[in-house]
Amino acid sequence: MIKKNKNSGFTLIEMLVVVFVLGVGLIGALSFFNININNQFEAKNELIAAGLAQEGADLMRNIRDYSDLNGIEWKNDGFGPILNPSCKTIDYESLSSHQCIKGSSLSHVCINSSGRYYQCADGTSGITDFERTISVKKDGEALEIVCEVKWNGRVTQAKDYLYKNSF
């Protein structure tokens, strides 16, 4: 007569195989979440950079419109006091002075306590990884505004054309 062993269970090899399979599955799932978090962070930075670039182009348009509506004499190929090869200090505060400062070192973008972005000097509080530079040049009958935002080795640009019939 054959007696059955009632204390049978998993062998050590079976347990090692189960632990290995579960470990591989968990590592795959965790790496998926890690990649997803990194992609979300990059997407957030791309949206911020695109917004900063578009804001720069819009601010130049607003300054141009202000000059036109208030009868300010335009010089330098029709763009008045703000036509410069490179304008690094334009932000929401520029709407009160209606100008940008040529060649300044304030290309870094900071964020203040209320969550608003502005141009700042290196080393000030709230500095971000973003740098914004706006270029204006005459392109035939239009003015070409190129706002470039750099961060972490990447670049985003917004380009706008102001035509003669609009200024």
Give pLDDT, residue 8: 66
Rg (CA), the chain: 29
For the chain, the straight-line distance linking the first and the last C-alpha, in angstroms and rounded, comes to 107
Closest by CA position to 146, among listed 82, 78, 56 = 56
Q: Any bridge partners for residue 148, and if so which?
A: 133, 157
pLDDT in tens, the chain (167 residues): 676 666 666 788 888 999 999 999 899 888 888 888 888 888 899 999 999 989 888 887 887 777 777 776 554 434 444 455 556 667 777 766 656 555 556 678 888 888 888 877 766 677 888 988 888 777 777 778 888 899 988 999 989 887 755 44
37 CB-contact burial (10 Å; exposed 0-12 / middle 13-18 / buried 19+) = exposed
Show the tokens assigned to 134.
Answer: 């706006």
Give the separation between CA 62 and CA 33, rounded to whole angstroms: 43
Can you give the pTM of this predicted structure?
0.67
Which pLDDT belongs to residue 82? 47
The answer to whether the beta carbons of residues 130 and 52 sit under 8 Å apart is yes
